[in-house]
Amino acid sequence: MNAPATLDRDLSADFPGLCTAEGKPWHYLDTAATAQKPRAVIEAMTRALGEDYATVHRGVYARSAEMTLRYEAARRRVAQFIGGQEDELIFTRGATEAINLVANSWGRANLKPGDRILLSQLEHHSNIVPWQLVARETGAEIDVVPLTQDHRIDLDAAEEMLGERHKMVAFGHVSNVLGSVLDAPRAAAMAHRVGAKLLLDGCQSAPHMPVDVEALDCDFYVFSAHKLYGPTGIGALWARGDILADMPPWEGGGAMIDRVTFEGTTYAPPPQRFEAGTPAIAEAIAFAAAADYVAEADLDTVRVREADLVARLRRELTAMNDVTVFGPDDSAGIVSFAIDGIHPHDLGTILDEADVAIRAGHHCAQPLMDYLGITATARASFGLYSREADVDALLEGIARTRRIFGTSG
């Protein structure tokens, strides 16, 4: 059992992925894409795949019954992590599938020609494309909210745009490119005032700040385990119980049924209604282990330390005349920037030679890149294991890249 993950010690020792094959520190600054995994998560998944493994919800033998209890306990733990109830939380393959589930189940049942969906300019493709698909099928239309000068969703503009024809508002809680944090309670109040639902993409908020879905007053909240230091292949959709009760199933098959005949089928109640097929058993257990680890680390403390790292990096980059830094000063764990005359891909490649990993590209947010008038950014993103040494290594790598390209700032 790992020691409690408190931030008064260097947490990098808990993460075997944070070193190179030669045993040197790997300065991992791509946590917004996917987080490294602590030993507690790796061990939980290994045990679930090994000596504890059995199917769930089906077997009458003891190990299956025990695994069923652990699987449902994982659901309860993940729901508690965001302030929800276990019967309100659906395990999905990730946040992308969770949004597609809402679009295909709630959207198809509730949207009709002339209805409107409100998105923002900074959304991840996963919070754009599913709505485009369902809008095409239902005849609904999409509106897009612009950004403020400091690259936040412009809620003043959103309030002016919202009307009674709007049925869904789907916003990123934290931008995966800009790190800007949405005033979610205000967005919820605005949506509800016109009778619309609010979906929050929480992929970048759940790992960086305490989340309470009741306090946020959203109707749907989605997030992925792998960005929360858990495994890939699993995520979650939280939704209000009364909304779930009225949503039809999206996928059909085992586990989501009550009774099947060729004349017709009746369905299980939520959340099982939305979990067709054999679930990701080991992944769910590891997801809960990740929630435990992050909770022990204390997200309030994590947020303060990440804010210090963000502030330092933004300060250093802003002092360089040839660097543009995007997003607000209080961005949540993310710093996106561009250096004149150096493509982000070139920067990322040269940094890799110095064991520094960043993300370079459009970050699955091409409409945002178009809005900003660029094709790509370099993005450094922090996690609870990030340290000042990571910022030092990044800045040294940028200086080396400048020397190679013969630029200065």
The phi, psi pair for 70, rounded to 5°, reads: -70, -40
Give residue-wise pLDDT tens across range 146-182: 999 999 999 999 999 999 999 999 999 999 999 999 9
CATH number of this structure's domain 45-295: 3.40.640.10
Percentage of the chain lying above the pLDDT 90 cut: 92
Average pLDDT over every residue of 64-82: 97
Q: Is the pLDDT of residue 273 over 80?
A: yes
Q: Do domains 11-37+298-405 and 45-295 have the same CATH topology?
A: no
Give residue-wise pLDDT tens across range 341-391: 999 999 999 999 999 999 999 999 999 999 999 999 999 999 999 999 999
Confidence of residue 58 (pLDDT cuts 50, 70, 90): confident
Predicted local distance difference test score (pLDDT) of residue 5: 44
Predicted local distance difference test score (pLDDT) of residue 12: 80
The candidate with the shortest Cα–Cα distance to 290, out of 84, 9, 93, 82, is 82
**For the chain, what is the mean pLDDT?**
95
CATH number of this structure's domain 11-37+298-405: 3.90.1150.10
Predicted local distance difference test score (pLDDT) of residue 254: 83
Average pLDDT over every residue of 327-353: 97
Q: Which of 19, 203, 218, 364 is catalytic?
A: 364
Domain ranges of the chain: 11-37+298-405, 45-295
What distance in Å separates the CA atoms of residue 369 and residue 392, rounded to the nearest whole number?
A: 28
Give residue-wise pLDDT tens across range 202-225: 999 999 999 999 999 999 999 999
- What pTM value is reported for the model? 0.95
Indicate if 19 belongs to the active site.
no
